[in-house]
Amino acid sequence: MSSDTVESRSPQDPDEVVQVLPVADRSAVSRAVDAARDAARGWASGSALNRTQALTAAADQLAAQSERFADLMVREVGKPAGEAAGEVARGVGILRYFAQQALDPDGQTYPAPDGASLLMARRYPHGVVGLITPWNFPLAIPLWKAAPALAFGNGVVLKPSPYAIGCALELDNLLDGVLPNGLFSMVAGGAEAGEALVDSVDAVSFTGSVDVGRQVALAATGRHIPVQAEMGGQNASLVLPDADRDAAAASVAAAAMGYAGQKCTATSRVIVVGNPEPFTEALADAVRGLGVGDPGDADTVVGPVITEDARRKVLDAAEKARVDGGSFLTGGRAGDAHGHFVEPTLVTGLSPDAELAREEVFGPIATVLPARDVDEAVEISNGVRYGLVTSVFTRDLDRALELVGRLDTGMLKVNAPTSGVDFHAPFGGEKASSIGPREQGKAARDFYTSTRTITMSPLGA
């Protein structure tokens, strides 16, 4: 173990150190992977009922400690209290869901050519899966990766973001109480720990930035191991003239600015078909009405961004938008409170080619773009390198069904916010947003197992 340490600090009170852990060097990562591999052999070959019982016990433990986990999440990553409680509840649901998936059929049979043999395809775990996860969902993302990996018989080593090591350590402690020794572990650190993990495991699942995700995918592919990378979005909400204006404005405002816009599914572009002014005014009013401040307060929707660097990135994006000719309907400035606060910022007057309309900022800032008609709205929506999620607001079901087929994102929503994920449905994007199979739901088995085709013939054949 390295003598260096990594610490997380509260974004609303940067003077508060939440957790300090030693940095895992390559030898520490290797030991964690070896321990997980040893434990996974018995875990995979044992009864699936044992895996179901263990994950159910983990869900029970998390439910019993829900308030403590939520409070830690508020302190460490600045997640508003309501969202933090919801994330813990989602974590409980994820564990219960995948506890039952451990009992799903693990293969299929096929007609044998000779009529007497048994021809089947059966799924087997990879061995040890490495998870590299971000700070913004410090419980849900590790669990929606770890729960299926464990349910299907793998060992797991988690490398969380340095900004969320406290939450990861608590998850590690919780799972230690219900899983075989060494089967799941957490290693702290930065790029070196992540690289060591990718170099050691049998499969890797990553969530984070495009640049790092590509590096992870290249390294994993070079080792011929399965890789899955979720890498963000530049998500659009299309508002058609017949939309319920006030309902759409409230939905878009929350999706763009909730949790200070720090979600890969946050709305970054609002594309308004026809005369944009009535909806733009309603949206600006909705953004101004959002609770901003201490994430521990029950009425807060927009808390701090995670670091001072993150705040500077948002402010730099706002300044670049101003240079590009944008006008500010709301925000554009740093917050007054101690901590990494930025005012929710809504920009109009930009071209779809402006940087703010093309690149992810990961903060409470969005731009409103007018479109003459639906065709131009689709062109603007599709005209970025990302393809995670798009929302359409309209009362016209026929038009909604048409647009679902024309928008090139992995997830599409009608009269619903871009933000929000259903853990029992496939999650993932197109283009630069994703590499590899979808996450979550029944799709998770495709990544965390491999298929072996088996032929068993009678001895006399």
Give catalytic status of residue 264 as yes or no: yes
Helix, strand or coil for residue 32? helix
The residue from 264, 343, 360, 439 that is catalytic is 264
Residue of 76, 170, 195, 230 with catalytic role? 230
Other Cβ atoms less than 10 A from the Cβ of 281: the count is 13
One-letter identity of residue 87: E
| Residue 122, φ and ψ in degrees, nearest 5 | -125, 145
- Per-residue burial over 204-241, b if 16 or more Cβ lie within 10 Å, else e, is bbbbbbbebbebbbebbeeeebbbbbbbbbbbbbbbbb
d(CA 362, CA 357): 12
DSSP string of 215-258? HHHHHHHHTT--EEEE----EEEEE-TTS-HHHHHHHHHHHHHG
* Distance linking the first and last C-alpha atoms of the chain: 57
Q: Could you tell me where the beta strands, DSSP code E, fall in 78-163?
A: 107-110, 118-125, 128-132, 155-159
Residues 6+ apart with CB under 8 A from 271: 236, 237, 238, 239, 369, 370, 371, 377, 380, 381
For residue 73, give the H/E element and its range: helix 66-77
192 classed as catalytic: no
Residues forming a β-bridge with 386: 431
- Active site residue ranges: 230, 264
